Structure formats: C-alpha cells, structure tokens
Structure 1
Amino acid sequence: MLRIDRRLVTQMVEHARADHPDEACGILAGPAGSDDPTRFVPMLNAERSPTFYRFDSGEQLKVWRAMDEADEEPVVVYHSHTATEPYPSRTDAGLAAEPGAHYVLIGTADPDVALVCSYRIVDGEITAEPVVVDGEGGDGPAFVVPDPDSDDHPARNKE
C-alpha cells in the first residue's frame, strides 16, 4: 500500500497536465528505509514523447547523488500515460530498476479528471496496490484513485 500526502499527488498531476500530450516523469523522494514519500522531484522526459519516457541521464545522476547525500531514496517513480490506461507497459516493467519503489502512473487522457494508480514492479511482475491519500483537499486538479479490487481499476482489465 502507498500512503501519500494529497499535496504530492496534486504536484504529480499538475506536472502530468503541464507536460501533456508528452509523458511527464519524476520521483518522490523520502528518507531511506521509510517508505514515506516527502519530496517532489519532477524530471525531464528526455524522449519528449507522448508514448514513452526516459529520465535524462545527467539529471538522474544529479538527483540520485542528492538523494544519497540527504540519506533519501526514490520512494515513488511516476510517469503519465497520455492516451492509454495508467497501467505499466512491457517497456515500463522492463525499465523498472527500483524494486523497493512504488510505480505511480497518472492517466491524463480524460481532460477533466486524472486517474492515479500505483503498482509494485519486481522482476517484471506487476502488482496493483491500494493508495491512501492523506491531507485536505485543495484547489489542485481533479484526480481519482481507484481501488485495485474494483472493476474500474486498469489492472482488472489485464487479468
């Protein structure tokens, strides 16, 4: 289960909307070993593509070094899907290099409401997980976090 502050979800959705129609990407860093995302780190999609993302290698190196110096780790690795369901593609699963991270996908195909889903990806195996959003509402963009056991969750269509 991913427990996350509403402010961080809002920042990810705002980033995804701002980069649309290209995929947005980034991480949420947190204290090492805590499983607690606390810091929003938007990153450049080096591909600048509506169907694929890749961190800029130079930027990624700087971000990972800064996390090491601050005793942080990537708790969440996120990116958006601009025209398809927020479910990891085979490419996404193959590139998932942080087995302890939550992989959050943000669906931005609906211009009014973003769909926010979280997965664990270990050795290419994708498992949907519940997301608990803490904190008060705000003026940010609208988003929905579906229950992974509901028929509305993108993972249900993949079973």
Structure 2
Amino acid sequence: MLEIPREILDAVIAQAQEGFPLEVCGLMGGTASRVTSRYPMTNTDASNEHFMMDPKEQFAAVKAMRAAGEEMLVIYHSHPESPARPSQEDIRLALTPNVCHLIVSLVNREEPVAKAFRISAGNVEPVEIVTAKAI
C-alpha cells in the first residue's frame, strides 16, 4: 500500500496534463509507505514515449529528502498515449530498489488514471494507492 496525500496526487496529474503530449517525471519522498513530498523533474529526453530525469535535479531532490528525514518512495512519470502500466522499457530501467513506480495515463485526458507498481528483477506487482489528507 502507498499512501499519497490528495494534494500531491492532484499535483502529479496536473503536471502530466501541463506536460502533455510529452512524458513528465519526478520523485516523491516520505517515510514508511506515506508520501509527504513531491519533486517534479525535467524530462531531459523531451519525449512522449520515455523519460530521463535531469541528474542535477535528482541529486538535489535526494539531498532535500535526506535533510527532511525522508526516503525516496516513488518514481513517477506519465504515459500520454498509453495505459497506466509499466512498458517494457519501464520494466528494464526500473533499477532503483525499494521504490514504487507511479504511472499516470492520459489516454482519456478528462479522466486521468494513476496506478502504482513495485518492479524488481523484471517482476511487476500492483500497489494499492490510498489517498489521504495532507499532514
């Protein structure tokens, strides 16, 4: 289970909408399975089929999480034209251990779909998302 404050999930969906038709990406920090922060990243690939986070932004986000006593819980990105499930490339590039991968699908832009997964050694497991009020 992954607990995400409604405001943070809404902000990720808004970022996906604003970035359309390109993929957007970012990180979320928190403790245990409760997200408490979001770090939007620049998709340096500027692609609608894949993403690459800016390394300097990633480093700054991880540093900020550590300073706040958080750990990286989520890597997120959008799928502008495909369902909210990991692509073969997403599975192949899921190398960060112990994080969830959140994917926002904009196949139907009026009703975005967000789903989370744990990906390890090529195995994909769905993770329940529970929305919560902010702390």
TM-score by length of 1: 0.79
Q: Which residue is equivalent to 1:57?
A: 55
Q: Which has the higher contact order (CA 8 A, sep 6+)?
A: 2
Q: As a proportion of its length, which structure holds more strand?
A: 2
Unaligned runs of 5+ in 1: 137-159
- Give runs of aligned pairs for residues 104-143 of structure 1, distance below 5 A: 104-135=102-133
Q: How high is the sequence identity, in percent, across the aligned residues?
A: 28
Query: Distance in 2 between the 1:61 and 1:100 partners?
Result: 18
Q: How many equivalent pairs are there?
A: 134
Query: Distance in 2 between the 1:37 and 1:129 partners?
Result: 14
Give CA-to-partner distance per residue, 1:42-79, whole Å, 9 cap, x none: 11001011000010112112222222233321111110
| Structure 1 stretches of at least 4 aligned residues deviating more than 3 Å after TM superposition | none
Distance apart, 1:114 and its partner CA:
0.2
Distance apart, 1:20 and its partner CA:
0.5
Distance apart, 1:107 and its partner CA:
0.2
Unaligned runs of 5+ in 2: none
Q: Which residue is equivalent to 1:22?
A: 22
Aligned match of 2:45 in 40, 44, 47?
A: 47
Query: Distance in 2 between the 1:54 and 1:120 partners?
Result: 19
Query: Distance in 2 between the 1:4 and 1:64 partners?
Result: 18
Distance apart, 1:95 and its partner CA:
1.6
Over the residues paired in the alignment, what is the CA RMSD in angstroms? Answer: 1.5
Query: Distance in 2 between the 1:73 and 1:123 partners?
Result: 21
Larger radius of gyration: 1
